[in-house]
Amino acid sequence: MCGESGGKWKKYLPLVTLAERISTKRTTGFSPFDLKFGQLPVLPIDIETKTFLAVEWHKISTTGELLEARAKQLEGKEEMRRKAAENSKNQGRTQ
């Protein structure tokens, strides 16, 4: 990927960094992105195919609608973090 001499690494660094941050970790069962933001990342394919991750922000016109959309994104965030901590703790026991 980076060439024989490794000189092309700068070209791939942003993509590799993103891949690392959005990949699920065995220890927690979640990606670093999930744990930090409490939601799955929205990727270009999500926008193109209009998945549930791509909130149509331009259609939100009131504070109530904005709060509802954001609440849906954050729904289950604490449960996800609790489960990640539990998974991490259990992972340590099995090694």
What are the tens digits of pLDDT across the range 4-63? Answer: 777 788 888 998 999 999 999 999 999 999 999 988 888 887 777 666 676 777 788 998
Q: pLDDT value at position 36?
A: 93
Q: 14 exposed, middle or buried (CB, 10 Å; 0-12, 13-18, 19+)?
A: exposed
Q: pLDDT value at position 20?
A: 95
pLDDT in tens, 75-90: 767 787 888 899 998 8
pTM strictly above 0.85: no
**Quick one: residue 49, left, alpha or beta (phi over 0 = left, psi -120 to 50 = alpha)?**
alpha
Q: Is the pLDDT at 70 greater than 80, yes or no?
A: no
